[in-house]
Amino acid sequence: METSEIRRRFLQYFEDRGHTVVPSAPLPASDPNLLFVPAGMVPFVPYFVGQQTPPFPRATSVQKCVRTLDIEEVGKTTRHGTFFQMNGNFSFGDYFKDQAVQYAWDLVTKPQSEGGYGFDESVLYASVYYEDDEAIDIWKRVAGLPDDRIVRLGMKDNFWSMGVPGPCGPCSEILIDRGPEFGAERDWEAGDRYLEFWNLVFMQNIRGEGPGKEGYPILGELPKKNIDTGLGLERVAYLLQGVDNMYEIDEVYPVIEKASELSGRKYGADPIDDVRFRVVADHVRSALMIIGDGVTPGNEQRGYVLRRLLRRAVRSMRLLGYEDPSLVELLPTSLEQMKKSYPELEADFGRISQIAYAEEEAFRRTLTAGTSIFDLAVKNVQSQGAAQLAGAQAFQLHDTYGFPIDLTVEMAAEQGLRVDTEGFKTLMTEQRERAKADARAKKAGHADTSGYRELREKGVTEFTGYQELSTDSQVRGLLRDGVVASAAEQGETVEVVLEKTPFYAESGGQIADEGLIVADGAKLQVLDVQRPVKGLIVHKVKVLEGVVQPGLDVHAQVDHEWRVSACQAHSGTHVIHAALRQVLGPNALQSGSYNKPGYLRLDFAWSSALDQATRSEIEEVANLAVRQDLPVSAQYMTLPEAREWGALALFGETYDEQVRVVEIGGPWSRELCGGTHVKHSSQVGALTVTSESSVGAGVRRLEAFVGMEALHHLGKERALVRLLSESLKARPEELPARIADLSERLRAAEKELEKVRAGQVLAAAAELASKPKDVFGVAYVGHRAPDGVNGGDLRKLALDVRGRMPADRPAVVAVLSVNDGKPAVVVALNDTAREWGLKAGDLVRIAAEQLGGRGGGKDDVAQGGGTDAAGVDGALAAVEHAIGQSVTG
């Protein structure tokens, strides 16, 4: 049975039994403490903990999940993977244990011809929490399981909680006996023979403070008992498909087959290669799904995880012996399997593949540059007689060149060296701690959201800003440093929650509103507005006058000019996006945006820079849309209706079932958006694109000014053109030709100057060659050339001097120069000097050490440099001393 069919049957079974089918949430988690959704129940947490009222009594979903803690273990075992799918059915105070067990057992054992999975009942077992006699009775009654096929396990294995105070409860799992070839009879700990594939959580208790897994106190029972189940889709797939593990199921194994075809190596022939094949298969599929949900490669958080996955896949293919670009072959193979369950991947594959292929190309360049640095580091270690590459060098390769540590370890082992992995780990830990401290310092808010949740329990904040810019309201609560406060006085900066507000909270790329909140005797300046938890709008304010406290009646007033300009910028972003797609095609999809009054930037999927003609065309299409005075409207509908209607969603955003669709000119621009907008496109005003640049592999960024800011920008450019016209005595239309002519003349003059300077340098060759210094029989020329001589001319000088010296006597030439504050050195030897045992590479390294740098080359000529210009004289003396030591031995 194909994985997509297993998925379909699950959803159909529970939909037929009154469950609302809930689409998978995007992989990027909305919880600020998570990078990705790690479990099927995560999107339903607000319902389980009572933060929100569930819109349905029972639900079912197949949730996309990513777990990243064990990336290094992927492939080494057949149990570890990054992307997986969790089937779940959920009850919010509706049915409980008895019904949950009945549903699970029925679906698992019902014949496949009747829509079930058809598992043989004789090999199925149930595990229960050891004190849960109720569950044992249910398994006996519903499934007819005898005592010897029901196993009691402790809190660590069969009692669920989120690891913090809150809902918890006993679990019950369905296990399958895979046979004696997978382990000993009744060995419940090994996890291979008695494989758990469906976990039923009976959420009925409240836990207190304590360790995450066991040993915490149970404080009592929940007022409403809930059901949360998780069926591992990949596990069921390999059980029903008769294969041994998740890497061999229909959604994964074709990538291994393709990798085997490309590399010429066979899966199953070599354990080391098998690890690499599994890494490729897992990471390619994971990257496909993560990019599909809007993440792009980067150096932080989700982007960094994605970058690691892509680079580990590419690296593994290279270690399998395939040197050519591989994702162009592997990613479409994964798409063919995954589109059966996620058809949106095929529609979006142009964008997905563009990002992935660009990242591989960037990594291939990185490998080339990083390998050169690695080779140099290895030579230095070997020249010192050491056997270990320092942790700092491994960290530099990782941090600067993107080398995974295991790649560095493997390459070092090929050279007979170890790597100080402990030192590397220490530096990585320090970097992570700095990153965490930086994240805490940013505006993302407090990691502890308990204060916000306490105020959220009093009700949602009503947003009135679509209809009005001022609202009479009341203070619902205050927070100081994330903690609920009773009052705030003049001069303090605190957070204020109102019952309703016209202030737009920053989201969807639109910056928050500014304005005032006033009351009798009090005035608050609104500095920022955020939504730290769903349904709650929080105003960061400075108390300008008086005292503010809960219950105070207030008047909230958004700054009118600020909002008008913000609307121009946000609608302008939609216009630019539509213009992009019109000019470049449907693959130029927005992957992020930011707009504030007068300014917008838009990131979009594209692999190459836009030329000036294309930029001008995009700008013209956008301004024509503004001139056409297109109507702007917003409508509410369900998410499936919006998708069917062709509305574009911002990747990575999480949407409710009811979404807001903003149209500009009907289907020309139709996007899911919660932001504020103008009423007609003409109100956007002028749009002028100011820059276009790269912000990552396969992602470009457009920046533009809007409205009055655009006119101000154009005015400055006009003034600049006028100034240049006056200075160059040319009309504006003649400026490009005049500037090109001046540039050409300047380049010609620089070339002539270079020739003169080179001639002067080389003119000294004859005199230098005629007056060498005798160093124990070696003719030595040590010369400091004038400052500004480049490396090429320095090399010419050294070779010219060497060529003028007698061939029958050993000769060494060392010449140095300082260019832009950085010294460079070239050492050249004739054949006789090399017969005496001298080597240019050794001598140039000695000189470069005095210059605070490094060098290398062949035995007859070598070049180096450094950063310490004060060491030039010492470098020449060091070369002379080394010659003497070498020949006197």
Binding-site sequence positions: 570, 574, 673, 677
How many helices (H) does the chain have, and how many strands (E)? 26, 35
The encoded tokens of residue 5 equal 């069919």
Q: Determine the Cα–Cα distance for residues 280 and 74; give it in Å rounded to an integer.
A: 10
b/e string for 844-878 if b means 16 or more Cβ within 10 A? bbbbbbbbebebbbeebbbbbbbebbebbeebbeb
Is residue 578 situated within a structural domain?
yes
Q: Which residue has the tokens 């140095």?
A: 816
CATH number at residue 775: 3.10.310.40
Is residue 622 situated within a structural domain?
yes
Dihedral of CA 532/538/541/547: which sign?
negative
Domain boundary among 214, 243, 272: 243
Query: How big is the chain by its Cα radius of gyration, in Å?
Result: 34
How many domains is the chain partitioned into structurally?
Answer: 5
Q: Which residue has the tokens 């990153």?
A: 435
Helices (H), 293-326: 301-319
Other beta carbons within 10 angstroms of residue 345's beta carbon come to: 20
pLDDT tens digits for 432-456? 676 555 544 444 444 467 788 889 8
- Which residues, in sequence order, are CB contacts of 629 under 8 Å at separation 6+? 680, 681, 682
Other beta carbons within 10 angstroms of residue 371's beta carbon come to: 15
pLDDT tens digits for 207-227? 888 877 788 889 989 888 999
Do 830 and 688 belong to one domain?
Answer: no
Binding-site sequence positions for Zn(2+): 570, 574, 673, 677
Do 658 and 790 belong to one domain?
Answer: no
Is residue 791 situated within a structural domain?
yes
The encoded tokens of residue 29 equal 């988690």
pLDDT per 10-residue tile (average), the chain, 889 residues: 95 96 88 84 85 88 89 80 94 94 96 95 94 94 93 91 86 93 80 88 90 83 91 94 92 96 94 94 96 85 88 90 94 96 90 90 80 82 86 82 73 84 86 59 52 88 95 95 91 95 92 94 95 91 95 95 95 95 88 91 88 93 95 90 82 71 93 93 94 84 94 92 91 90 90 75 84 92 88 89 92 92 93 93 92 89 91 91 86
- Which residues, in sequence order, are CB contacts of 810 under 8 Å at separation 6+? 777, 778, 779, 829, 830, 832, 833, 835, 836, 838, 887
The encoded tokens of residue 478 equal 């205050």
Domain boundary among 210, 243, 276: 243
The encoded tokens of residue 503 equal 């202030």
Which of 377, 417, 375, 412 lies closest to 393 in space, CA to CA?
377
Q: How far is CA 169 from CA 133, 217, 329, 450, in A?
A: 14, 12, 47, 22
Is residue 689 situated within a structural domain?
yes
CATH number at residue 706: 3.30.980.10
Q: Which residues pair with 662 in a beta bridge?
A: 634, 671
Which of 31, 109, 26 lies closest to 61 in space, CA to CA?
26
Do 786 and 809 belong to one domain?
Answer: yes
Q: Are 580 and 588 in contact (CB under 8 A)?
A: yes
For residue 121, what is the DSSP state? G
Q: Determine the Cα–Cα distance for residues 314 and 365; give it in Å rounded to an integer.
A: 12
For residue 413, what pLDDT is reported? 80
Dihedral of CA 158/162/165/166: which sign?
negative
Do 771 and 743 belong to one domain?
Answer: no
For residue 434, what pLDDT is reported? 67
The encoded tokens of residue 140 equal 């006996």
Helix (H, G, I), strand (E, B) or coil at 378: helix
Do 121 and 44 belong to one domain?
Answer: yes
Other beta carbons within 10 angstroms of residue 49's beta carbon come to: 13
Q: Determine the Cα–Cα distance for residues 608 and 362; give it in Å rounded to an integer.
A: 13
Q: How far is CA 269 from CA 15, 76, 272, 277, 482, in A?
A: 45, 15, 9, 11, 57
DSSP E strands, 188-291: 194-207, 218-232
Q: Determine the Cα–Cα distance for residues 346 and 2; give it in Å rounded to an integer.
A: 19
Q: Determine the Cα–Cα distance for residues 455 and 453; give it in Å rounded to an integer.
A: 5
Do 649 and 680 belong to one domain?
Answer: yes
Is residue 722 situated within a structural domain?
no
Phi, psi of 719 (to 5 degrees): -65, -40
**CB-count burial class (<10 Å; 0-12, 13-18, 19+) for 185:** exposed
Is residue 105 situated within a structural domain?
yes
Do 749 and 789 belong to one domain?
Answer: no
Q: Are 791 and 823 in contact (CB under 8 A)?
A: no
Do 685 and 827 belong to one domain?
Answer: no
CATH number at residue 538: 2.40.30.130
Other beta carbons within 10 angstroms of residue 375's beta carbon come to: 12
Q: Are 426 and 405 in contact (CB under 8 A)?
A: no
Which of 581, 672, 667 lies closest to 634 in space, CA to CA?
672
Q: Which residue has the tokens 């402990």?
A: 422
Q: Which residue has the tokens 């990613």?
A: 331
Return the half-sphere exposure (C-beta side, CA atoms, 13 A cut-off) of residue 766.
3
Domain boundary among 243, 261, 294: 243
Phi, psi of 480 (to 5 degrees): -120, 115
Query: How many residues in total does the chain contain?
Result: 889
- List the domain range (segments joined by +) for residue 502: 450-558
b/e string for 636-669 if b means 16 or more Cβ within 10 A? ebebeebbeeebbbbbbbebeeebbbbbbbeebb
Q: Determine the Cα–Cα distance for residues 371 and 380; give it in Å rounded to an integer.
A: 14
The encoded tokens of residue 249 equal 């199921």
The encoded tokens of residue 651 equal 């990747």
Q: How far is CA 508 from CA 34, 128, 428, 668, 698, in A?
A: 19, 45, 33, 20, 21
Helix (H, G, I), strand (E, B) or coil at 230: strand
Q: Determine the Cα–Cα distance for residues 88 and 427; give it in Å rounded to an integer.
A: 41
Which of 689, 685, 673, 509 lies closest to 583 in space, CA to CA?
689
Phi, psi of 66 (to 5 degrees): -140, 130
Q: Determine the Cα–Cα distance for residues 656 and 641; give it in Å rounded to an integer.
A: 12
Do 486 and 617 belong to one domain?
Answer: no
Amino acid identity of 553? D
Q: How far is CA 773 from CA 842, 859, 880, in A?
A: 20, 21, 9
Return the half-sphere exposure (C-beta side, CA atoms, 13 A cut-off) of residue 276.
22
Do 154 and 19 belong to one domain?
Answer: yes
- Which residues, in sequence order, are CB contacts of 419 under 8 Å at separation 6+? 388, 389, 391, 394, 405, 408, 409, 412
Q: Are 15 and 61 in contact (CB under 8 A)?
A: no
- Conformational region of residue 737, where left means phi above 0, alpha means psi within -120 to 50, and beta covers everything else: alpha
The encoded tokens of residue 184 equal 């000993």
- Conformational region of residue 736, where left means phi above 0, alpha means psi within -120 to 50, and beta covers everything else: alpha
Other beta carbons within 10 angstroms of residue 455's beta carbon come to: 21
Do 511 and 654 belong to one domain?
Answer: no
Return the half-sphere exposure (C-beta side, CA atoms, 13 A cut-off) of residue 703.
10
Task: Provide, for the chain, the percentages of residues in helix, strand and coil under a 3-state DSSP scheme, each rounded to the nearest 5.
Answer: 45, 25, 30
Which of 123, 102, 124, 106 lies closest to 115 in space, CA to CA?
106
The encoded tokens of residue 652 equal 């990575």
Other beta carbons within 10 angstroms of residue 181's beta carbon come to: 7
Q: Are 654 and 724 in contact (CB under 8 A)?
A: no
Which of 288, 358, 295, 290 lies closest to 330 in space, CA to CA?
288
Helix (H, G, I), strand (E, B) or coil at 388: strand
Is residue 384 situated within a structural domain?
no
Is residue 466 situated within a structural domain?
yes
Do 537 and 639 belong to one domain?
Answer: no
Q: Determine the Cα–Cα distance for residues 56 and 60; give it in Å rounded to an integer.
A: 11
